[in-house]
Structure 1
Amino acid sequence: MHQKQQLLFGVYFDALRMEDVVARCRTALLTRSRVLLGVLNAAKVVNLRSDELLRNSLIECDLLLADGQSIVWASRLLGRPLPERVAGIDLFDRLLTLAHSENRSIYLLGAKPEVLAALETRLLERFPGLRIAGSHHGYFDAGDSAKVAADIRESGADMLFLGMVSPKKEIFLASFGPSLGVSILHGVGGSFDVLAGYTKRAPASWQRSGMEWAYRVLQEPQRLWWRYLRTNTQFVLLTALELLRPAHAFKPTAARPSQAIRQL
């Protein structure tokens, strides 16, 4: 099947629906090939312009998807439409369902130890018999990165989920992903906290209206209001610039692996 891509904001998005992405992942499991998943929201579109390591890690993804509704709306305005939002947390949920139904093993990397423990408990309650090949919290020193990567590799997991903030999760995947021997690699950000019951996701109506970010601000106003004001404003400006003069595709640069490790 021909896979359509759309060049938006200097990166190639895969114009896929959720069902297409899950089918691609199922094929990768059957063929023992790799799918490195990348998801982009407005903030990442803004930040990748100045963050070389984040930009390189996203360019290297096998599938790059629109995690934010604002990107879908912008794609339509720009005449290069993406079919729908593929939210990272929803894809995480679908891949967990796939792992459970097809007896595939998973590895969980990220979050605080207590959040990770709660997540494992909840997943096993929801998916009895789910094969959790291993797990590790996300608060490890940079010097332990290679050891964590080795543990993932030795676990033999079919899927790796990283509950780490950007750009840490993208950088870890870019640095160690090719050596892990895992078919499906997906950075899910704060999804561990949501599925573990530590934070609450915005109601579906807020998600559909593209206001999920506002719900997060209401939960943590002091920490998040300025961040979202800055990135949302810059994203609107970037969309206007893209309408006037579409950006050329970014090319990967020769960022050194040691740089990426220091960022963890």
Structure 2
Amino acid sequence: MLATATIPATAAPPRRRVFGVDFTPVGLEDALALAAAREPAAPFAFIVTPNAQHVVLLNRAPAEWAPIYHRDSWLCTCDSQVVRRLAALAGQELPLCAGSDLTAALFARVLQPGDRITVIGCEPEVIERLRAHVPRLGIAHHNPPMGLAANPAAMQACLDFALLHPARFTFLATGSPQSERLAAAIAARGGATGIGLCIGSSLHFITGARRRAPAWMRRAGLEWLHRLVQEPRRMWRRVFVESLPLLALAAPEIARRAWRR
């Protein structure tokens, strides 16, 4: 059952720019209410959940990525406790709505028996786990090859699959920022319906294929550390090269606030 939201379920509130990213300032309950209230047959709209890595990417290549995150997305929610806390130090309130939490809540509290979902990406064994976990959902799955962004034929196959398999929710798990690019392409093509979510490893967590950080680590903003310890070869570059520059982006705004105070 949905908890009471604090905003009307018909429209997202105005966005708020934090560290160069236009976030939709909603927490989990409000984002969930917005997603639940949207008509399944409405034209395709998608949700992005930027973390520290995405904030850095948007600042490094705004001409390439800002249109997807700022103009094309329906909701753009904060995925990162680190981003949220740095924003607070800079004097900006930014609610947290992590993509993995939103995905889990949709499965637990919004999706109903008989609903159809589409998954693009994710290993077949994870999808089999998902079918066992939610046997009453209709699941259409397409797993594109690696290097999707550089493979026009594979990208076209994903677009065709999304159009041929309309669903209340389409979960995109092709890696970031490929999933965001794919979501924007589905929306731009037209004809697709429902809501798309760029979900990273969310289905791995739901099905138990991968262990998520304990709740106390997530609350403390240490989920990145848990994943780094679990998958050092995969995560070290994401943490130390692609995410760490966030501190340099945030420092001037934090310093300005401290000076004003």
Give me the whole-angstrom Cα distance separating, in 2, the residues matched to 1:243 and 1:88.
Answer: 26
Matched, 1:193 2:200: no
Change (3 A) 1:19 1:103: farther
Cα RMSD (Å): 2.4
Matches within 5 A, 1:205-216: 205-216=216-227
**Aligned partner of 1:96 among 101, 107, 121:** 107
| Candidates 82, 105, 130, aligned match of 1:70 | 82
CA separation of 1:180 and 1:121: change in aligned 2, threshold 3 A: farther
Distance 1:223 1:155 in 2: 32
Unaligned stretches of 5+ residues in structure 2: 1-7
Equivalenced residue count is: 240
Say which SS state the counterpart of residue 80 (structure 1) adopts: coil
Please state if 1:6 is matched with 2:16: yes
Q: Which moved more, 1:135-144 or 1:36-45?
A: 135-144
Q: Is the 8 A contact 1:118 1:196 kept in 2?
A: yes
The verdict on how the C-alpha distance between 1:104 and 1:223 changes in structure 2, with shifts beyond 3 A counting, is: closer
**Deviation per residue, 1:194-249 (Å, 9 max, x gap):** 22322110000100000000000111223323431234431111111233579xxx
Structure 1's 198 and 180: CA in aligned 2 closer, same or farther, altered over 3 A? farther
Q: Are residues 1:82 and 2:94 paired?
A: yes
Aligned residues of 1:153 and 1:180 also touching (Cα < 8 A): yes
Name the counterpart of 1:251.
none
> Partners in 1 of 2:163 and 2:87 — Cα distance?
37
* SS class of match (1:101): coil
Q: Report the equivalent of 1:163.
A: 173
Could you state the TM-score of these two structures normalised by the residue count of structure 2? 0.82
Q: Return the offset for 1:103.
A: 4.5
The residue type equivalent to 1:131 in the other structure is G
Identical aligned residues as a percent: 26
Counterparts of 2:170 and 2:41, CA distance in 1: 17
1:219 equivalent in alignment to 2:230:
yes
> Structure 1 residue 101: deviation in Å?
2.9
Residue of 110, 132, 139 corresponding to 2:145: 139
Q: Which residue of structure 2 lines up, in the alignment, with residue 149 of structure 1? A: 159
Pick which of 111-120 and 63-72 moved more.
Answer: 111-120
Is the 8 Å Cα contact of residues 40 and 66 (structure 1) preserved in structure 2? yes
Does the 8 Å CA contact 2:41/2:193 hold for their aligned counterparts?
A: no
Q: Evaluate the alpha carbon distance shift between residue 161 and residue 30 of structure 1 in structure 2; reply closer, same or farther with a 3 A threshold.
A: closer
Structure 1 pair 103–117 and aligned structure 2 pair: CA distance change class (3 A): closer
User: Take 2:201 and 2:221, find their aligned partners in 1: how far apart are those partners?
Assistant: 18
Question: For residues 31 and 144 of structure 1, what CA distance do their matches in structure 2 show?
Answer: 26
**Correspondences of 1:106-117 after superposition (within 5 Å):** 106-117=117-128
**SS in structure 2 of the partner of residue 107 of structure 1:** strand
Name the SS for the 2:47 alignment partner: strand
The answer as to whether partners of 2:68 and 2:181 remain within 8 angstroms in 1 is: yes
Change (3 A) 1:92 1:220: same
Contact 2:186–2:192 under 8 Å retained in 1 = no
Letter in 2 for 1:47: L
